Amino acid sequence: MTKGRVKRWVWYLVLGLGIVTGCVAYPYLRYFFFASDMSSSKSSIQVMGHRGASALAPENTLAAFRAAMPHAEVLELDVHLTRDDSVVVMHDPTVDRTTDGKGAIAELAYADLAALDAGSWLGEAFKGERVPTLAQVLDLVNGQRTVLIELKWPRNGIYHNLVPRVVELIRARKAETWVIVQSFEYKYLDELRRLAPDITAYQLLYGYLAFPPVYRDRSFHLGTFPIVEGVKGLAIYYKFLSPSLVEKIHGQGLKIIAWTVNDPFDIRRVANLGVDGIISDNPGAVKGELGL
């Protein structure tokens, strides 16, 4: 290959990378031009506490859910499955970050997790806070709020018994009308539709672009984003939202939830886009910005 051809291919590569980078950056740049002044009443927007009120208490603990309840209509949480099939509330597939223990949840029995301190990492005031089970959170809420349950996965693959166990816990408490189950994982959502079509399901999405056609859920994909059959809403990372996207999703009869929004300017921007719910680490701040 001649030097001239090499030079041309280098320029083609640089141009291609520039186009891709520009397309990926576009939603973020566009987002900052949306109005941050509240345009009208936003009383229809649901305030949702991310992992409880994780700005105020250790995430995904009973303390965080208690702190969120005065401010949030919806309590969002994450669930994993232990070695002995207990459904526990934690975001990561390991206990390393938010407890004084080590190891993968899938390889630990519930008794192992129950002995861990899940609060000291945030301060002495929360020393001794434990990793709750989904059953404990549902019993705490008892229909006073909606519980938004995100189905997570281990470090590799999925939990093959997670959906049946979550459905079992919901059924046992007759909580079908006050829970929503969401996930990035299509297999979970398909299984939920087969086992419990009466339980509301939302699909999680980081974001997607029409050009080039690419989207991200658990990973990046080329192509058009597929909406899983039976879901009632989409939960999308807020910087990928736009008025046209919100209108399109609503036109398909779906609700749209923005996650995870903490800055006051962002709260107002997202509210102006017409979303149905805002997930935040500090639901009280969202409530204040919306004037609720």
For residue 97, give both structure tokens: 């970050």
Q: Are 202 and 171 in contact (CB under 8 A)?
A: no
What residues are labeled active site? Answer: 50, 91
Q: How many whole angstroms separate alpha carbon 75 and alpha carbon 49?
A: 5
Three-state secondary structure along the chain? CCHHHHHHHHHHHHHHHHHHHHHHHHHHHHHCCCCCCCCCCCCCCEEEECCCCCCCCCCCCHHHHHHHCCCCCEEEEEEEECCCCCEEECCCCECCCCCCCCCEHHHCCHHHHHCCCCCHHHCHHHCCCCCCEHHHHHHHHCCCCEEEEEECCCCCCCCCCHHHHHHHHHHHCCCHHHEEEEECCHHHHHHHHHHCCCCEEEEEECEEECCCCEEECCCEEECCCCCCCCCCEEEEEHHHCCHHHHHHHHHCCCEEEEECCCCHHHHHHHHHCCCCEEEECCHHHHHHHHCC
